């Protein structure tokens, strides 16, 4: 169990989708499907819908908050977000869209496919067999 910092409080369990690179929600994610469309992303073509999305921090345009809101309304939102160091755009997106989010987590120990349990500030990683 590791402890992070709560950005948006929630309790959720799901499968991790991990990007080692920063992510731009505006322009980098299809707001209708949750698919990563940024070609220089290491998770290009993957969908964040229903996953626990793990990435170091957000980059790029400051309208990314609205992309999270759209994903939520379309039902294609990530179950939760984990960041190493959050920045306001993704934070506000998570807050207004009611998507649980935790930061201050060392993400180097998380791989795509691991099961993650988030309960408030507590994050449990169950490695994929």
Are 122 and 27 a contacting pair, CB within 8 Å? no
Nearer CB in complex with another protein: 62/127: 62
Q: Tell me which stretch binds another protein (CB under 8 A): 46-54, 71-79, 108-116, 121-129.
A: 71-79
The footprint of another protein on residues 76-95 (CB under 8 A) is 85-89, 91-93, 95
Rounded to whole angstroms, how far apart are CA atoms 104 and 86?
Answer: 8
Contacting residue, 4, 17, 19, 31, with another protein by CB under 8 A: 31
Does residue 67 belong to the site contacting another protein (CB under 8 A)? yes
Rounded to whole angstroms, how far apart are CA atoms 64 and 89?
Answer: 6
Contacting residue, 37, 98, 108, 111, with another protein by CB under 8 A: 37
Give the three-state DSSP class for 21.
coil
Q: Show the CA angle centred on residue 74, arms to residues 88 and 90, nearest 5°.
A: 10
Q: Show the CA angle centred on residue 59, arms to residues 55 and 60, nearest 5°.
A: 145
Does residue 70 belong to the site contacting another protein (CB under 8 A)? yes
* H or E segment and range at residue 89: helix 88-97
How far apart are CB 96 and another protein at their closest, in Å? 6
Q: Tell me which stretch binds another protein (CB under 8 A): 11-19, 47-55, 56-64, 113-121.
A: 56-64
Rounded to whole angstroms, how far apart are CA atoms 94 and 23?
Answer: 14
Nearer CB in complex with another protein: 106/129: 106
Nearer CB in complex with another protein: 13/74: 74
Residue 101 DSSP label: E
State the catalytic residues. Answer: 61
């Amino acid at each position: 169990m590791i402890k992070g910092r709560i950005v948006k409080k929630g309790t959720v369990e799901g499968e991790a989708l991990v990007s080692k690179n920063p992510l731009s929600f505006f322009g980098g994610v299809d707001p209708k499907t949750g698919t990563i469309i940024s070609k220089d992303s290491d998770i290009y073509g993957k969908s964040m819908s229903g996953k626990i999305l793990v990435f170091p921090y957000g980059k790029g345009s400051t309208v990314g908050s609205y992309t999270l809101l759209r994903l939520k309304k379309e039902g294609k939102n990530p179950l939760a977000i984990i960041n190493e160091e959050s920045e306001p755009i993704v934070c506000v997106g998570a807050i207004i869209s009611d998507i649980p989010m935790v930061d201050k987590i060392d993400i180097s120990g998380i791989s795509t496919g691991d099961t993650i349990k988030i309960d408030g500030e507590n994050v449990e990683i169950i490695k994929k067999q």
